[in-house]
Structure 1
Amino acid sequence: MTSLARRPVGALIPDLWDMFETSWPFSSRHPMHIEDFVEKGAYVVRAELPGLDATKDIDVSAANGVLTITAKREETTKEQHRTEFHYGSFTRSVTLPAGADAEKIAAKYEKGILEVRVPLAAAPEERKIAIDVQPE
């Protein structure tokens, strides 16, 4: 069982452990957890975004072969509290695989999970290219 300790409001020295709990670049502790996989001819990205209003707090965009999910969670100020929630703006970007059809991306939000589906075109088969040799 985990016990949350209250930190005094306005403490001069912040809890040093908070430094290690924050989202360092390339760490697995990013405030937006995602997973991606290929399923039924589509590249699927799922993001955990509980408690957000999909119409106001979440944005999905695609440009130049990159899918970007941006979300924001606003904090309600409390007088004295401890929180392990992440507040502010969060962004995750993933490179779309070859054959991704960015014009047909669809997204749905259900039970705190955002699911983005990107249809994939059939991968072109490798073909041998003939070399035209010019006489010298």
Structure 2
Amino acid sequence: MTDLMKWFDTRRSPMDLIERLFEGETGPSAIRVEEMVDGNTLVVRAELPGIDPEKDVDVTVADGVLTIKGERQEKKEQKDKDSYRSEFRYGSFIRRLPLPSGVQQGDVTASYKDGVLEVRAPLPDKGQAETSSKIPITRG
């Protein structure tokens, strides 16, 4: 798949394309992800270093879309007798990824270790995949 085809991947939502156009994949609020299939499970890994996943991150599944949303707040202070220095790094982030058809939201799990959020979604059996059926046309 060429880079151009990845940019216009039809599985991506229009909002994802707009976010990528204005923010870019490496913008300050971007979340970098890896998507892979491990056996019959879709695995999404997201880089989220320096956050508390219990307080700062929400992972939801709705309408066939996985959403990773959160806020980062990092504070570093240096106090001396005659000076004070503070560096803040904060901001909210969101990433939406389409899930394959038939993924059950109740089966999706998430874990966090060493700055990486891992979301696992069991894929439906190919036999359970949605099938198409011909719709009869009647003359009126």
TM-score (norm 1): 0.66
Residue number in structure 1 paired with 2:59:
60
Question: What is the RMSD computed on CA atoms of the aligned residues?
Answer: 3.1
Q: Distance in 2 between matches of 1:118 and 1:128?
A: 24
Give the superposition deviation at 1:77: 6.7
Residue number in structure 2 paired with 1:27:
24
Residue number in structure 2 paired with 1:36:
35
Instruction: State whether residues 58 and 70 of structure 1, in contact with CA within 8 Å, keep that contact through their aligned partners in structure 2.
Output: yes
Greater strand proportion: 2
Residue number in structure 2 paired with 1:13:
none
Instruction: State whether residues 67 and 97 of structure 2, in contact with CA within 8 Å, keep that contact through their aligned partners in structure 1.
Output: yes
The letter for the 1-side match of 2:51 is L
TM-score (norm 2): 0.64
Give the superposition deviation at 1:102: 1.3
- What aligned pairs does 1:1-136 form with structure 2 within 5 A after superposition? 25=22, 27-30=24-27, 31-76=30-75, 87-124=90-127
User: In 2 relative to 1, CA 24–82 (structure 1 residues): closer, same or farther, beyond 3 Å?
Assistant: farther
Greater helix proportion: 2
Which stretches in structure 1 are left out of the alignment for 5+ residues?
Answer: 1-22
User: In 2 relative to 1, CA 82–60 (structure 1 residues): closer, same or farther, beyond 3 Å?
Assistant: same
Which stretches in structure 2 are left out of the alignment for 5+ residues?
Answer: 1-19, 78-83
